[in-house]
Amino acid sequence: MTIDYSKKINELVEYLNTCRDEYYNHNRSIISDKEYDDLFDKLAELENESGIVLSNSPTQSVGYKVVEGLNKVDHDKPMLSLDKTKSYKDVIKFCDDKDALFMHKMDGLTLCLTYKDGILYRVETRGDGITGEDITHNANSILGIPKTIPNTNTIHIYGEAIITTKDFEYINYKLPESEKFANARNLASGSVRQYDSNICRNRKVRFICWNANELSKDGTMTSGLDEADKLGFITVYRRTRLSLPNWTEEHIKEMFENMKLRADTVNYPIDGIVIMFNNIEYGKSLGRTLHHFRNGIAFKFYDDTYETHLTNIEYSIGKTGTLTPVAIFEPVQIDGATVTRASLSNLSIMKSTLNKPFVGQTIYVSKRNQVIPKVEYCLEGEPIHGEELLFPLVCPYCGASTYVEKDNNGPEILVCTGNNCIGSLLRKFSTFVSKQAMNIDGLSDKTLEKFIKLGWIHKYSDIYTQIPKHSHELSKMEGFGEKSVTAILDSIEKSKTTTLTKLFIALNIENIGKQNAAELEKFFNNDPNNVLKMNIEGPNGIRERLSKVNGFGDIMVDSVCKWRRSANDMTEYMDLINILTFTKKADKVTDKLSGMSFVITGSVNLYKNRNELVSIIESNGGKVQSGVNKDTTYLINNDVNSSSSKNKKAKELGVKIISEEEFNKLLGNETTTKPIKKGLF
């Protein structure tokens, strides 16, 4: 019965506020004074019976508040967003056999309400997820926020501030053409952030609660929302599904279409469906990534587009000499990442998307499926007001002439005519040595280009075999001294201890980025040999199993299979894994060594090499110094009685000398890095 109270009270408050607004601000009486008074009394009576009083109730003496600015507040708990998808397949994969809750994804501004001792204490915006803005002064101007709740714990309620499509149309209808608002989401967002709560009130913002987990009686999200319903909140439209056995993409699609219709009938602006695990503890156990919680995903109906301006078109070169146009534009923030470039695929797509591209052209960019930046379209009919960006007649990498290739009805493709165009090799090695790949310092594109022209590097493994071989020659070359050559060789040597993830990034496997590379490492059980042992096709093959891994769509699975099938790529791969040593990424990082500084001298026995020991120390919060000084905590040396200069210095300064074994004891015998035997089979 209490749910009825909540609904009735929200309806009455909304209606009475509308009447007041029309009367005071537009000089129109929707109802007679008598009717108003009767409804007012009715509301007071309902509030009295149920104990539900909304912050914006006309029965409350609503003193409007004006603040001078919005204070920044740190959230008690981070308000991260969810990973997004546009694929029904991902939804099925995500739910697996767990109970899931499907909710409207409200298109508004996320708010967190905090109640202390049963009283509304604070309302804050999401901001960057860690810090938001305090907008408590506007609580009495937003529908659906109870002033009090019968719960004395500190309670956080999450939801969305929205303006219904109907209210939005009405607000705009009353405004002259030049003052009309562009979209409901921005209006809601701008309204709740107003300094003057009177302005916010006129915008008819309402709070739709989608997370009241702290009110849950049985550990499910549904129970929390049901409780919130009873307390006067307006809760999100939702459906629960007890696992999804045998659900097809068609089923999901149909359910989403129905939910969309439902939103239309109540005029709620939604831009997708949120899917969350109903079991709160299970959801929590999945943890988070840097940007997202893992207990849910958001299915988006559309990719949002962002306006920006073209600054250039660059051409990247592929293995076969294809020159792919890449749009370079003014930075835009999409899903928390700065985006400045997007592939235009080929000349045909470039022309159909941008017509005649020019510097300063207004373009609209999205992240397709939240992953791949894409120029969606340009501003129609914009006069050309910058330098036109024509495709190059000579290859920007080798200077050979280019030509446009076109097969029958296929797209127009720009190709470099140079034999062995240096561009493709340069790209190959540039990725290989990059920071997130093999992380080799001192090999700039310019240096790599020199090595390629000298014929020193062609295969990846040449980095490890050919460069050291030519080190003497190199130190005599212009721009290189002995010192810089030593630094390069050191860096090459250091890169030999790496992770499988880094190698997968380094290998230029098409469509495989950092995130996928990390998944691949797990997929191959962190054993480089498994790549070769596993079949490609068949029931237990790479294709079948990889397609079940989160984040791997058909295109990526295809890329991995194609790479695995290529004899050339596999030869290169085998050469490399015979040279490299793989460590598992430290999966447990502690601060056990924090505040301690170490110096390592002599040979190491328990660890693969010094680099590995260094990474263990650093991942546990310690520092590594090159020489012993007064700040040194320990000198690690297996020969405690050695008469080396470092040992002498340590003894002089009273720095304790420990063996590797003693070092392990410092860590509580915990080895966070497991060396893996190198070599094949």
- Please identify every residue annotated as catalytic: 105
Residues between 395 and 414 with contacts to Zn ion, criterion CB under 5 A? 395, 397-398
| Binding range to Zn ion, per CB under 5 A, among 125-133, 140-148, 342-350, 387-395 | 387-395
CA 213, CA 216: separation in Å to the nearest integer? 5
| Cβ-based nearer residue to Zn ion, 19 or 421 | 421
Q: Are 233 and 212 a contacting pair, CB within 8 Å?
A: yes
Query: Site for Zn ion (CB under 5 A): how many residues?
Result: 7
Q: What is the DSSP string of 209-263?
A: EEE-GGG-SSSBHHHHHHHHHHTTPEEPPEEEES--TT--HHHHHHHHHHHHHHH
Contact residue for Zn ion among 283, 373, 418, 622 (CB under 5 A): 418
Let me know how long the chain is.
681
| Binding range to Zn ion, per CB under 5 A, among 86-94, 287-295, 352-360, 420-428 | 420-428
DSSP 411: P
**Which residue type is seen at 568?**
N
CA 572, CA 569: separation in Å to the nearest integer? 5
CA 294, CA 276: separation in Å to the nearest integer? 9
| Cβ-based nearer residue to Zn ion, 417 or 571 | 417
| Cβ-based nearer residue to Zn ion, 146 or 418 | 418
Beta-strand pair 634-636/597-600: parallel
Contact residue for Zn ion among 234, 416, 492, 593 (CB under 5 A): 416
Rounded least distance, CB 315 to Zn ion, Å: 10
Rounded least distance, CB 419 to Zn ion, Å: 9
Does residue 371 bind Zn ion (CB under 5 A)? no
| Cβ-based nearer residue to Zn ion, 244 or 317 | 317
Q: What does the angle CA 47 – CA 48 – CA 51 come to, to the nearest 5 degrees?
A: 70
| Cβ-based nearer residue to Zn ion, 373 or 418 | 418
- Dihedral angle sign, alpha carbons of residues 460, 578, 602, 495: positive
Contact residue for Zn ion among 80, 135, 259, 421 (CB under 5 A): 421
| Cβ-based nearer residue to Zn ion, 421 or 463 | 421
Q: Are 85 and 298 a contacting pair, CB within 8 Å?
A: yes
CA 91, CA 82: separation in Å to the nearest integer? 13
Rounded least distance, CB 454 to Zn ion, Å: 18
Buried b (16+ CB within 10 A) or exposed e, 483-519: eebeebeebbebbbbbbbbbbbbbbbbebbeeebbbb
CA 395, CA 480: separation in Å to the nearest integer? 28
Rounded least distance, CB 427 to Zn ion, Å: 11
Rounded least distance, CB 445 to Zn ion, Å: 14
Q: Which spans of this chain sit near Zn ion (rule: CB under 5 A)?
A: 395, 397-398, 416, 418, 421, 423
